[in-house]
């Protein structure tokens, strides 16, 4: 039985009744198979699974899609029930921010101004602020984030480490469509031609990963990825395509690395990433 609560008082009472470990999965709703994977991972690791569903206004810029972001609570609750969630917290904006938008927000540090932060100023201030608030309200032992939003995952890990937040942050691999497109709530915005164009993101990542597997150096990996993106179906406009280390710092000469991409497909902005291992042939 999945219990659904909407207010802080209801959450506090329901949370106090949970016995054993608690894993929290934070979402903005519009749940899909990627979220179900997060819920399954939480179900495997924790005695209780708590899901939050909240479209956070702090992480949307003035020209972004806050108003049209899909809100499908009834369907989302069915997903939660099917996955065996014990408790769902679905607050209103007033419940989350009873005193209005907070004047104090978390500074994500230098990484927060790069990649997604460079294209969406203030985005990670909003993300980390709501994540910390939800961690304080839900008091979990573990929290689960998808690797598709790899910069978010990295910053949440840094935040909990730097601020001594007593929670284990668990990364869950990206879930993809059979054709390679990373699952995203924003995919529903795509027309059929745009969806075909969106495949250029995963094509670029696969090409870069193949080059790394073939023993190519970092420059050749990036070249291969850019070539694959450019060779794809017209209609995708690249924002960035970079190779970094596994912590999103400047890319290594060898060892674990991350290939990270963002692009506009029509009016929809999509992101993706892949782990690669650099072992250039001498």
Which of the residues are catalytic? 35
Q: In angstroms, rounded to a whole number, what is the distance separating the alpha carbons of residues 171 and 271? A: 17
Q: In angstroms, rounded to a whole number, what is the distance separating the alpha carbons of residues 110 and 53? A: 28
Q: In angstroms, rounded to a whole number, what is the distance separating the alpha carbons of residues 230 and 111? A: 27
Q: In angstroms, rounded to a whole number, what is the distance separating the alpha carbons of residues 273 and 201? A: 9
Q: Which tokens in the block code for residue 202?
A: 């995963």
Contact, 119 vs 126, CB < 8 A?
A: no
Query: Helices 73-82 and 33-45, interaxial angle, to 10°?
Result: 40
Contact, 207 vs 201, CB < 8 A?
A: no
* Burial degree of 247 (CB within 10 A; 0-12, 13-18, 19+): exposed
Instruction: Report in angstroms the alpha-carbon separations of 2 from 81, 84, 85, 154.
Output: 6, 7, 6, 30
Contact, 201 vs 261, CB < 8 A?
A: yes
Instruction: Report in angstroms the alpha-carbon separations of 273 from 102, 129, 130, 204, 229.
Output: 31, 24, 24, 10, 13
């Amino acid at each position: 039985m999945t219990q659904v609560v909407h207010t802080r008082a209801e959450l506090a009472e329901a949370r106090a009744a949970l016995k054993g470990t608690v894993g929290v999965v934070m979402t903005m709703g519009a749940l899909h198979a990627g979220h179900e994977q997060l819920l399954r991972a939480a179900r495997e690791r924790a005695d209780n699974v708590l899901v939050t569903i909240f479209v956070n206004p702090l992480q949307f810029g003035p020209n972004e899609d806050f108003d049209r972001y899909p809100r499908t609570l009834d369907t989302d609750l069915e997903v939660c029930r099917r996955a065996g969630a014990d408790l769902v917290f679905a607050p209103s904006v007033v419940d989350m921010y009873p005193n209005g938008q907070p004047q104090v927000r978390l500074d994500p540090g230098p990484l927060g101004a790069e990649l997604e932060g460079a294209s969406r100023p203030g985005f990670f201030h909003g993300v980390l602020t709501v994540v910390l608030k939800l961690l304080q309200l839900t008091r979990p032992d573990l929290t689960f984030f998808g690797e598709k939003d790899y910069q978010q995952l990295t910053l949440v890990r840094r935040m909990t480490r730097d601020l001594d937040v007593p929670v284990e942050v668990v990364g869950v691999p990206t879930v993809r469509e059979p054709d390679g497109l990373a699952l995203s709530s924003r995919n529903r915005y795509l027309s059929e031609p745009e969806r075909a164009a969106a495949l250029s993101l995963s094509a670029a990542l696969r090409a870069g990963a193949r080059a790394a597997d073939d023993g190519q150096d970092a420059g050749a990996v990036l070249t291969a990825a850019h070539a694959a993106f450019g060779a794809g179906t017209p209609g995708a406009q690249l924002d960035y395509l970079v190779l970094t280390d596994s912590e999103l710092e400047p890319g290594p000469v060898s060892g674990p690395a991350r290939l990270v991409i963002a692009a506009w497909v029509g009016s929809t902005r999509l992101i993706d990433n892949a782990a690669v291992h650099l072992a250039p042939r001498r």
